[in-house]
Structure 1
């Protein structure tokens, strides 16, 4: 996917907003967003992962029934929901201290398509909350970085929707595998560090120790 003038404009807008929020120490943005604040969001919104879990379940059912194109669409949607609605949304929401403006800022910040534009934010988040370098996350040692694979699946999903591209059994399974690892390696790692786990259906609960 090429880097367009629109992409550059959005990147500059994010940088400008970041400079205004953190004029002296921009890099504090993620470190100031403590684990406690993120955990508080999840506790207050225990069903934030339910739509993603529902989409993932639908992808597996469609795949089992031989509807591979539809399965890939739902797998890509599940991945997007895991990353943007279930992970990035709580972070961006927590960084905006004015409650009345939070929803507007979240909607604007996460409205753009694609995952790679959020790579820097995710990388800092993972170092702070999970002690993990994002670039090390891969499904298999020889595979692309997990976030890059997720972006590739999203592009394939767009080709299905907008160009009618047919999807093979293997491609659909790949989409499901990527979505599985996005949850296991990215979202589940953060939730575990926050003392949270999932019930059946995707509802968040406090882990029993």
Structure 2
């Protein structure tokens, strides 16, 4: 969910230039069944626009790429939701570690690649002037 909602969905939405259909196209492409169908397209979009290759990126200490880990977690999540299975401590830890990595490492990296920056770790900002707040250039920049 973190990958889809924080990285892929905003990029796909932003790539559709007609606002009137952007949400429709995004919802169609990002739907559950479509994620598998459009995997190659979505991964390429994330690579080109976000600078992240999920097929080669590995979390520290993991032997698998993060895309494989996400697929494993998604499968287990579906078994929990639809078949009332229970996650083991290891599966729970993996899900939390992967989600944390997506939010704390990949998300800021993608935001920076797209020319934005974060405030408080999660607020996306496109104002280049704020990076000078608290510096000697602050007053000069504010007048521009």
Pairwise same-fold verdict (TM > 0.5): yes
Matched residue count: 128
In our comparison, the structure showing a higher alpha carbon Rg is 2
Q: C-alpha displacement at 1:157, in angstroms? A: 0.9
Change (3 A) 1:160 1:127: closer
Alpha-carbon distance change, 99 to 132 in structure 1, aligned in 2, over 3 angstroms:
closer
1:195 partnered with 2:116: yes
Deviation of 1:126 (Å): 4.1
- In structure 1, runs of 5+ residues without a counterpart are 1-79
Partner Cα distance (1:198, 1:88) in 2: 20
TM, length-normalised to structure 1: 0.52
RMSD value, Cα:
2.6
TM-score normalised according to structure 2 size: 0.71
Distance 1:115 1:203, change over 3 A: same
1:208 to 110, 116, 131: 131
Higher relative contact order (CA 8 A, sep 6+): 1
1:174 to 74, 82, 94: 94
Closer, same or farther: CA 197–150 of 1 in aligned 2, 3 Å: same
Query: How far did residue 84 of structure 1 move?
Result: 1.9
3-state secondary structure, aligned to 2:64: coil
